[in-house]
Structure 1
């Protein structure tokens, strides 16, 4: 699978099979995050790998009841240690950097036949408490990882229903791309 194929086939998976993620595959996903670019190459991200079911159960509560956090055999939590650096463009670097790294990880997971879902709906203080994350750090995202239990294919009718139900519709390029000027 090439990168563009991974981009096209990646879906937000919210239901996971009862199958463990092999350590070799997990390491490849983590390596994809490690190799991602960051502002001034600061690499101030940290990734917490949670396999323990009881901890995932607590994280699911902190993630506003999202059952996929408990159901997936692995939950990754993307954090930032340096949260005060502003890029010259005025953006805080940590949210951008962790987001890029997690995106790389999502694409590698897709290539490996694994599913993920980017979760931004969580109570940060609760996640920090559950995982002993220092107060100075920020939690950017929670990401379940595992083998999809749900089909990502199907008939045209099923695909259309899935797109409508999951919000996967994408606007055409001519609505989002401008050339030379806005």
Structure 2
């Protein structure tokens, strides 16, 4: 099994088709995030899965009118339970932990022939209030999933020799 095709083919969805996601596909996407690695295996994530059109419409308003919230059949709010934990190198762990989980979900979505879009532009307080998220938690990012209507243009990647070094810079 080679994962590179899923990684290479994944693009950000610019818009979504009005089609439901099969529940078994959604379950596999969510499970991919659940089993992702985290610092000291703390698993500091909670995922709120949103399908209700009214809630998604309100989220769209919190995301400055991003139409994809209305289009995507599923929105996943990725929250952390562990805002203050720092790794031994001094960095907060939750940005990396949640990034791993969402990345695993995005790759699984691609494997399921679903598109995804990562959203980090929203008013967090509005989202927390709408979804009744406890004050002590943080909404780190949201993932939109569905059948892609229109992908965003594929971004060109830097060549290997510009980003990978061996033994020294």
Q: Deviations over 1:49-108 (max 9, x none)?
A: 000001000111111211101210110111101111101111101111011000000000
- The equivalent of 1:27 in structure 2 is 27
- The equivalent of 1:169 in structure 2 is 156
**Which residues of 2 match residues 1-182 of structure 1 at below 5 A?**
2-150=2-150, 162-163=153-154, 168-182=155-169
Alpha-carbon deviation of 1:44?
Answer: 1.1
Structure with the largest fraction of strand: 2
Give the CA RMSD over aligned residues: 1.3
Structure 2 alignment gaps of length 5 or more: none
SS at match of 1:149: strand
C-alpha separation in 2, matches of 1:171 and 1:115: 23
Highest relative contact order (Cα 8 Å, sep 6+), 1 or 2? Answer: 2
TM-score, normalised relative to structure 2 = 0.96
TM-score, normalised relative to structure 1 = 0.89
Structure with the largest fraction of helix: 1
Structure 1 alignment gaps of length 5 or more: 153-161
C-alpha separation in 1, matches of 2:78 and 2:109: 15
Number of matched pairs: 169
